[in-house]
């Protein structure tokens, strides 16, 4: 790459989440400047939340210390932004440092969960808006987005490689005014996982040169890096086919066929509405939420997912050497309860892997009189939810009109609020039933029959679907 000169102080802003090595990147750049005999200042802004909170490192590099009059990168004065987290990079403070036509930005586009999701389970990651704000601040031609988190994790087996990957990416783009030799020497002087960090830096360079090559390499090395088209919404047929394939593996072909047949009934009834039903919004809602209810995660499903070769391949791609697996589970027939009556998880060793394989092959017992787990209150409740959902939708379909279509869609989406497991799921279920009752009252319908609670007597394991 052709590296920029230093006729005036060069401002670099490193942004990211505390605890992931953001401040280390600023220190590496500063040490590299020192190795080259240049002047440098570093100002780390970590606030009260050093781990998990927004962190920014202001780095200024100059030929002479007399040229650096402020340690903070000024408004619109950043020459380079290394964005290790897209949300922090799209924050007001970071955006204010960018200047359109001046700032180059290399940003990690991998989505990382934030505290907002803990407080609000309906929170959506603002990918498009965040990337759009960064592009507007520095100019779209000056912005490079790379799925560094997933790529670095797949290549290196640890997400901590992401930030060093981003430094290598920005350097190869020609946006870091320091030599490769100086940066590598700074990594050595840091004396922490030297070879690991050098490799991450090198992979970032390769990604800036040929991202497709790196994506292919990441795909061979693990299952984390994928090329996903988020822009095109799948058709209803594609959506149903994916769900049918999943449910076939989950239970069997007959179980999956019952799902497909019900969605098709909804589609035909909605299509009969003419222009009002053209978008098939009701059919899509049913395809999503009937699937959610039918694919409830019970003991057989946990066993199937853990015994899947894809899980083993993912673990093998993340770890090397002699490692041990430990599973934290709360088997309803074995687990103890806490003072509130909730099941307590306990640790199980690697011997669970062959046990998972055996249990997964027994999933044909699910919902039958021979299902040992089917007599628990939670499993009876999950099966009853499927039947109640179908019964409610069938009643509403018989009275479906363009005028009440949106209300029926709202009823079909009620299962979206049923989240979690055990007592957490029970709490969300009660809220969902109250919401459903209110919507049905607006439609002039009685509430659907509530599924049996965990305290209800056994139902003999009959499957509602």
Model confidence band, residue 215 (pLDDT cutoffs 50, 70, 90): confident
Helix (H, G, I), strand (E, B) or coil at 65: helix
The CA distance from 350 to 345, in Å, is: 16
pLDDT given at position 127: 60
Give the residue-averaged pLDDT of 323-327. 88
Tokens of 22: 């953001």
Please count the helices (runs of H) and the strands (runs of E) in the chain. Answer: 19, 8
pLDDT given at position 229: 39
Is this model's pTM higher than 0.85 or not? no
Model confidence band, residue 27 (pLDDT cutoffs 50, 70, 90): very high
Model confidence band, residue 194 (pLDDT cutoffs 50, 70, 90): very high
- Judged against a pLDDT cut of 90, whether residue 452 lies above it is answered with no
Question: For helices 377-397 and 422-442, what crossing angle results, to 10°?
Answer: 20
- Judged against a pLDDT cut of 70, whether residue 153 lies above it is answered with yes
pLDDT given at position 176: 95
The CA distance from 276 to 437, in Å, is: 25
The CA distance from 61 to 29, in Å, is: 9
Question: For helices 236-250 and 299-307, what crossing angle results, to 10°?
Answer: 100
- Judged against a pLDDT cut of 50, whether residue 19 lies above it is answered with yes
Residue 60 φ/ψ region, left for φ over 0, alpha for ψ in the -120 to 50 degree band, beta for the rest: beta
Model confidence band, residue 332 (pLDDT cutoffs 50, 70, 90): confident
Strands 80-83 and 104-108: parallel
DSSP 8-state class, residue 457: P
> Of all residues in the chain, what percent carry a pLDDT higher than 90?
56
Give the residue-averaged pLDDT of 244-267. 96
Tokens of 77: 């004065």
pLDDT given at position 338: 80
Give the residue-averaged pLDDT of 370-395. 92
pLDDT given at position 223: 44
The CA distance from 275 to 277, in Å, is: 5
DSSP 8-state class, residue 142: G
Q: What pLDDT, in 10s, does the model give residues 73-95? A: 999 999 999 999 888 899 899 99
- Judged against a pLDDT cut of 90, whether residue 249 lies above it is answered with yes
Residue carrying the six token digits 């990604």 = 207
- For the chain, give every residue range classified as CATH 3.40.920.10: 10-221
Residue closest to 230 by CA, chosen among 86, 111, 107: 111
φ/ψ (deg, to 5) at 136: -70, -35
Give the residue-averaged pLDDT of 408-423. 89
Model confidence band, residue 225 (pLDDT cutoffs 50, 70, 90): very low
Name every residue whose Cβ is closer than 8 Å to that of residue 83 and which is 6 or more positions away in sequence. Answer: 15, 16, 89, 94, 105, 106, 107, 108, 134, 166
The CATH code of domain 10-221 reads: 3.40.920.10
- Judged against a pLDDT cut of 70, whether residue 128 lies above it is answered with no
Q: Which residue has the higher pLDDT, 321 or 214?
A: 214
- C-alpha distance from residue 3 to each of 13, 46, 271 (Å): 17, 29, 60
Do residues 238 and 280 touch, judged by C-beta distance below 8 A? no
Average pLDDT in the chain:
85
Do residues 226 and 147 touch, judged by C-beta distance below 8 A? no
Model confidence band, residue 454 (pLDDT cutoffs 50, 70, 90): very low
Model confidence band, residue 323 (pLDDT cutoffs 50, 70, 90): confident
Residue closest to 172 by CA, chosen among 90, 80, 62: 80
Give the residue-averaged pLDDT of 171-199. 95
Give the residue-averaged pLDDT of 322-326. 86
Give the residue-averaged pLDDT of 357-369. 93
Residue closest to 412 by CA, chosen among 431, 436, 430, 434: 436
């Amino acid at each position: 790459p052709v590296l920029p000169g230093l006729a005036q102080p060069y401002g670099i802003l490193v942004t990211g989440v505390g605890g992931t090595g953001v401040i280390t990147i600023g220190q590496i750049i500063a040490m590299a400047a020192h190795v080259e005999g240049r002047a440098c200042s570093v100002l780390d802004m970590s606030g009260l939340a050093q781990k998990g909170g927004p962190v920014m490192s202001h780095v200024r590099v100059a030929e002479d210390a007399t040229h650096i009059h402020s340690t903070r990168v000024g408004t619109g004065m950043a020459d380079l932004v290394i964005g290790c987290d897209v949300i922090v990079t799209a924050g007001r403070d970071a955006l204010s440092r960018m200047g359109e036509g001046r700032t180059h930005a290399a940003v990690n586009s991998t989505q990382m969960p934030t505290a907002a999701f803990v407080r609000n389970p309906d929170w959506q990651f603002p990918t498009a808006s965040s990337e759009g704000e960064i592009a507007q601040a520095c100019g779209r031609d000056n912005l490079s987005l790379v799925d560094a988190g997933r790529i670095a994790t797949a290549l290196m087996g640890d997400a901590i490689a992401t930030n060093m990957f981003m430094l290598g990416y920005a350097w190869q783009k020609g946006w870091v005014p320091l030599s490769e030799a100086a940066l590598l020497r700074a990594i050595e002087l840091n004396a922490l996982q030297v070879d690991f960090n050098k490799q991450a830096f090198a992979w970032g360079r390769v990604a800036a040169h040929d991202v497709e090559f790196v994506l292919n390499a990441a795909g061979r090395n693990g299952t984390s890096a994928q090329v996903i088209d988020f822009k095109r919404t799948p058709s209803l047929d594609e959506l149903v086919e994916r769900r049918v394939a999943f449910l076939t593996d989950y239970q069997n072909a007959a179980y999956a066929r019952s799902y497909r047949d019900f969605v098709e009934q909804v589609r035909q009834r909605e299509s009969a509405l003419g222009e009002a039903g053209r978008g098939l919004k009701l059919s899509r809602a049913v395809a999503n939420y009937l699937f959610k209810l039918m694919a409830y995660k019970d003991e057989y499903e946990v066993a199937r997912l853990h015994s899947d070769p894809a899980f083993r391949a993912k673990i093998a791609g993340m770890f090397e050497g002699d490692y041990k697996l430990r599973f934290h589970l709360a088997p309803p027939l074995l687990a103890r309860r806490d003072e509130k009556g909730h099941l307590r998880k306990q640790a199980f060793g690697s011997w669970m892997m062959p046990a998972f394989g055996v249990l997964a092959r027994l999933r044909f017992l699910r919902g039958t009189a021979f299902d040992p787990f089917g007599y628990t209150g939670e499993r009876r409740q999950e099966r009853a939810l499927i039947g109640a959902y179908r019964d409610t939708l069938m009643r509403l379909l018989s009275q479906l009109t363009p005028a009440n279509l949106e209300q029926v869609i709202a009823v079909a989406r009620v299962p979206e609020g049923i989240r979690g497991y055990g007592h957490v799921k029970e709490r969300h279920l009660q809220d969902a039933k109250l919401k459903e009752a209110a919507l049905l009252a607006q439609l002039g319908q009685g509430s659907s029959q509530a599924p049996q609670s965990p305290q209800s007597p056994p139902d003999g394991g009959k499957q509602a679907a």
